[in-house]
Amino acid sequence: MTFDPHAGRHRMPVVFGPSAGPRQGPDGRTFDMSRAPRTSAAISFLTERSRLEALLPPGCELDGPPVVTVEHTMLRELEWLAGRGYNLLGVRFPVRYQGREETARGPFLSVLWENRPEPIITGREELGYAKLYCELPEPRILRGAHCYAASWDGHEFLRMEIDGLDEATPPPAPAADGVLHYRYLPAISGVAPSVSEMVISPSGGSPMRHRSFRRGTGRLAFVRSTWEQLPTMYHIVNALADLPILDITGASIAETVGAKDLSDQRVLR
Amino acid sequence: MTFDPHAGRHRMPVVFGPSAGPRQGPDGRTFDMSRAPRTSAAISFLTERSRLEALLPPGCELDGPPVVTVEHTMLRELEWLAGRGYNLLGVRFPVRYQGREETARGPFLSVLWENRPEPIITGREELGYAKLYCELPEPRILRGAHCYAASWDGHEFLRMEIDGLDEATPPPAPAADGVLHYRYLPAISGVAPSVSEMVISPSGGSPMRHRSFRRGTGRLAFVRSTWEQLPTMYHIVNALADLPILDITGASIAETVGAKDLSDQRVLR
Amino acid sequence: MTFDPHAGRHRMPVVFGPSAGPRQGPDGRTFDMSRAPRTSAAISFLTERSRLEALLPPGCELDGPPVVTVEHTMLRELEWLAGRGYNLLGVRFPVRYQGREETARGPFLSVLWENRPEPIITGREELGYAKLYCELPEPRILRGAHCYAASWDGHEFLRMEIDGLDEATPPPAPAADGVLHYRYLPAISGVAPSVSEMVISPSGGSPMRHRSFRRGTGRLAFVRSTWEQLPTMYHIVNALADLPILDITGASIAETVGAKDLSDQRVLR
Amino acid sequence: MTFDPHAGRHRMPVVFGPSAGPRQGPDGRTFDMSRAPRTSAAISFLTERSRLEALLPPGCELDGPPVVTVEHTMLRELEWLAGRGYNLLGVRFPVRYQGREETARGPFLSVLWENRPEPIITGREELGYAKLYCELPEPRILRGAHCYAASWDGHEFLRMEIDGLDEATPPPAPAADGVLHYRYLPAISGVAPSVSEMVISPSGGSPMRHRSFRRGTGRLAFVRSTWEQLPTMYHIVNALADLPILDITGASIAETVGAKDLSDQRVLR
């Protein structure tokens, strides 16, 4: 058997040797992500504090007003996918984490849908991102309105739209320690976890720069769904559909270039 | 925060509560898999012992001749997917595992491709199956020849074909302790694993029964592929393409009904 | 230029020579369709006569009660597609056609959706079938209920379901002259047509035989849709959604084998 | 029956009334295509005159050197598709047509693949474009190399690549009367056509303007394919694969905005 766990990053199946992925190329070197283009459309809304608190992971409290941000992102020209891209849809809200030894502030990424299985697998296992699969088509762009949808097996469970776009100044980088995630991997027994820990994607270190930034008017709705429609994630979509949208606090579309490979991901103590 | 890890099986994202899946319905109960139909097409071939030994997981040795079985399976009418189905392609070979406390014999499932992300996520995390994603279309059936293909992003990396089919007696259940898997989950640091263990899907307990069984003549070929074509799994496909096919030892298509939910999966000590 | 219109059936592009298709193989011979399997799920409902009369083609009147049949069909093992298959969804109702010289009775196939472009092109141009494209997934089959859907670009516009299935005697072949179609091809000018004629797929000549036939209880609904959701066929789906379902008059699932290649299609005089 | 052929453009099925499409909105008005973005990647190559002459339609001769252009185009934000887009792959070469009454010069569009069925149907029937379906993924863009592929049912039949791109001056509009097409629609009888005519998409009248234009180095190859791989178009792909590439004479990527709806398409007398 030739499996050497010190020979580089491994993912199942490991008996075939190290796996190339976002943080490891075929030759063991890392990838250049400094020119990868990204288009992100984000809508933020104020919701009820108590409803949102029900979605906090252990050790976390809301950090400021209960504002949820839903962001649709298109990544392109990714070296680790040999030039391919994929789309993402994330839901986050600001939290403060108090661990045994340290404290961290930043958006908690409660769920992140992606339309390609490979980054889902690497992201869940190597980073602890709460990634799931869904269909995320390119937006329809009709007379200035950008229309986004998320669906699974033909069932649309999110619609969001931004129009009235005008050039604006990109916001400064948020004063956050990083993006927070709750990494959880079950044990074979099915009850107690193999892994349960808060992890952070630290702020800083990214070569990201804006190519354009526009603000507009946003609308969004999660669609209440049945078990038959979404048999493995109706509970997630319905919890999000149950968050009342008290006020839309922002809507923007950003075109940026450059990212980092997240190899600085670390467990919060 | 309402997350209660004792409230049932959880998968990321866990803050939304327990996740329905193959081993847990929306009401916490398990699913009836006793009538789920399955069609499996399998081809076995003799290869070089030393080449196959290079793919053994820790603690394992080959159990008998170096015979590899490639099996394409179509699962349908699955309750946990609310009646949907999916297709699989597995590669296995017989091994004997010697653990610290126990011994087990059975096919080692070295890699299992599936064409739906949800069973991949649950299978990797809850069961330790080495599942990956690829496209697995229904077979072409042309004048009695059943033609199977596996591809990723438009690149075909496996072709297999069975023809000359005749009704035959289904083989007896193999004298195996179960199907063996090497469960491996990396740590955030990226080198040492969070989890590294042999697990077994024990034989027995399945209501599976044959509706038909046919033997025929088989051909198969893995296609050597570049990093550009398969940027996260060229090394797996190329390792399989490098296994010489010394002799085709069997080819069959079975239609069966009934399965179990694999909740008896356990770690080998 | 080598184009010889007498060398066999041609479809655009014609400069590359004759096109293989359902009625012409690569060697110019026809295909054997006598063993192609087919699964058809049909629901019939009584509607308002006047509403249905608004959908009659020129020269036609309703033939008996205003009963509409919606049928989902899965074709497999098609020789002309080298063993592939595809799914169909048709809407038909019985009419009597009075031409200048002849009369014909049979179901008028008002629209036929298919999930593969090639039979759509050949069917529209060579046969005059009113075929359109949509997604037609395999049915979900959950605890005996067969659930069908039709969608376009993620928008579901038809749901139908049959459960409570019991074996029954297949109905006798209907006393029809054939299936009727209104073939219409516009001229470049865009107003007057290049072709406008009633055509018939004559009854008889098919080697079709039943493998099973089951009757059950059916439900169906077309979903009213916007131009944004179905920009080229909202008017069709909405016209069907506007047909009141006064009574479900039948629901069945048939498994059959054998078809003909429809090369006996002819224009009604 | 309410069908009124003078009420607007109709396509099968016509009994539901006029069909919205590229040249007719839901209210009967035309669409604004003046802001629709388009990205086109084109490679031209010199081939053998006699081989190319075998692909000429009736009444045509080559106009100048036997240079073939293969162009991959991405159309986005199309009003007639309510903001959606699609991709195209065309093969053209310059011809001179001598009709009974008139003469025309311009590129003959021998075949045009598209990855969406609706423009295929409208283009074939309303315009006489020789459109067919295939998969046309977004290009992979890896370290400056743009990699394009065309496939059908998982079989890749064209690969093209452009790298070494530098900004350049867009070429002047070609001195052509328009793009030429051979419109052919079979009759039900299957031999003599219902329609057989040369049509032209006249030059001029388009609001198209360049946003960027880059020249680079190109490579392309059509892949010889079997009937099993491409059962309705192996003969087309193989005819193109048989054209020797004597010299690559140009490779460029253009980003443009604005198009016309081609309602000025006309039959050449």
Query: Which residue of chain C is at minimal alpha-carbon distance from A153?
Result: C154
Q: Contact, D140 vs A83, CB < 8 A?
A: yes
Highest-pLDDT range among A239-248, B256-265, C17-26 = A239-248
Surface-to-core class of residue D29, CB atoms within 10 Å of its CB (0-12 exposed, 13-18 middle, 19+ buried): exposed
- The residue with tokens 């027995």 is B204
Chain C, residues 3-22, CB within 8 A of chain D, namely: 3, 5-6, 9-21
| Predicted local confidence at residue C5, as pLDDT | 64
Q: Residues 6 or more apart from D204 whose CB is under 8 A from it? A: none
When computed from its CA atoms, the radius of gyration of chain C, rounded to whole angstroms, is 19
Neighboring chains of B (3 or more beta-carbon pairs < 8 A): A, C, D
pLDDT of res. A190:
60
The Cα–Cα gap between B231 and A25 comes to 9
Query: Residue C193: its pLDDT value, please?
Result: 85
State what percent of residues in chain A have pLDDT above 90.
Answer: 86
For residue B35, pLDDT over 80 is answered with: yes
Q: What is the structure's pLDDT at A1? A: 47
**What residues of chain C lie within 8 A of the CB of B149, using their CB?**
none
Helix H or strand E segment including C211: strand C209-222
With cut-offs at 50, 70 and 90, classify the pLDDT of residue B7: confident
pLDDT in tens, D62-71: 999 999 999 9
Q: How far apart are CA C84 and CA C76, in angstroms?
A: 6
More confident residue, A192 or D48: D48
> Are C121 and D120 a contacting pair, CB within 8 Å?
yes
Contact (CB, 8 A) for A139 and A163: no
- Give yes or no for residue C71 having a pLDDT over 70: yes
Average pLDDT over every residue of B258-267: 92
Q: What average pLDDT does the segment D249-261 reach?
A: 95
Q: Please provide residue B211's backbone torsions phi and psi, each rounded to the nearest 5 degrees.
A: -100, -30
Asked whether the predicted pLDDT for residue D76 surpasses 80, the reply is yes
Average pLDDT for B197-215:
94
CB of D221 less than 8 A from some CB of B: no
Contacts of D265 in chain C (CB under 8 A): 188
Three-class secondary structure of residue C65 per DSSP: coil
Q: Residues of C with CB below 8 A from B145's CB?
A: 83
Report the mean per-residue pLDDT for chain B.
Answer: 94
The pLDDT of residue A98: 97
Neighbour subunits, C (≥3 Cβ pairs < 8 A): A, B, D
Q: Does the pLDDT at position B190 exceed 90?
A: no
- Collapse the DSSP code of C80 into the 3-class scheme (helix H, G, I; strand E, B; otherwise coil) and give the result: helix
Q: What is the pLDDT of residues C17-55, one digit of tens each?
A: 999 999 999 988 899 999 999 999 999 999 999 999 999
What percent of chain B clears pLDDT 90, i.e. is strictly above it? Answer: 86
Alpha-carbon gap: B137 to the closest alpha carbon of chain C (Å) = 10
The DSSP-derived string for B97-111 is EE-SS-EEEEEEEEE
Looking at residue B2, what is its pLDDT? 60
Give the one of A126, A153, A182 whose C-beta lies nearest to B186's C-beta. A126
Among A164, A57, A142, A35, which residue's Cα sits nearest to residue A106?
Answer: A57
Residue C256: the pLDDT is 97
* pLDDT tens column, D106-153: 999 999 999 999 999 999 999 999 999 999 999 999 999 999 999 999
State whether residue A125 sits within 8 Å of chain B by CB: yes
User: What was the pLDDT predicted at D255?
Assistant: 97
Cross-strand bridge partners of residue D222: D158
ipTM value: 0.96
- Centre a 10 Å sphere on the Cβ of residue A67 and count the other Cβ atoms it contains: 19
Residues in chain C closer than 8 A to B147 (CB atoms):
83
**pLDDT band at residue D8, thresholds of 50, 70 and 90?**
confident
Are B154 and D153 a contacting pair at CB < 8 A? no
C222 in contact with chain D, both atoms CB, cutoff 8 A: no
Indicate whether C194 pLDDT > 90.
Answer: no
DSSP symbol at D173: P
pLDDT band per the 50, 70, 90 thresholds, residue D190: low
Residues 6+ apart with CB under 8 A from D269: D99, D100, D101, D102
DSSP character string of D67-86: EEEEEEEEE-S-GGGTT--E
Is the model's pLDDT at D1 over the cut of 60? no
Buried b (16+ CB within 10 A) or exposed e, B8-37: bbbbbbbbbbbbbbbbbbbeeeebebeebb
Helices assigned H by DSSP within chain D: 49-53, 117-122, 234-241
CB pairs below 8 Å between A and C: how many?
21
Can you tell me the distance from the alpha carbon of B92 to that of B94, in angstroms, rounded to the nearest whole number?
7
Instruction: Please indicate whether, in this complex, the C-beta atoms of D55 and C26 are within 8 angstroms of each other.
Output: no
Average pLDDT, chain D: 94
High-pLDDT (> 70) share of chain D, %: 97
Specify the pairing of strand B67-75 against strand B37-46.
antiparallel
Strands (E), chain B: 37-46, 60-62, 67-75, 86-98, 103-114, 131-133, 140-142, 145-152, 155-167, 178-186, 193-202, 209-222, 247-257, 266-267
pLDDT band at B1 (very low <50, low <70, confident <90, very high): very low
Mean pLDDT along residues A65-76: 98
Phi, psi of A220 (to 5 degrees): -155, 155
Mean pLDDT within B183-208 = 87
Interface subset of B 81-110, CB within 8 angstroms of C? 82-85
CA distance A10 to D153: 32
CA dihedral D233, D239, D245, D251 (to 10 degrees): -40
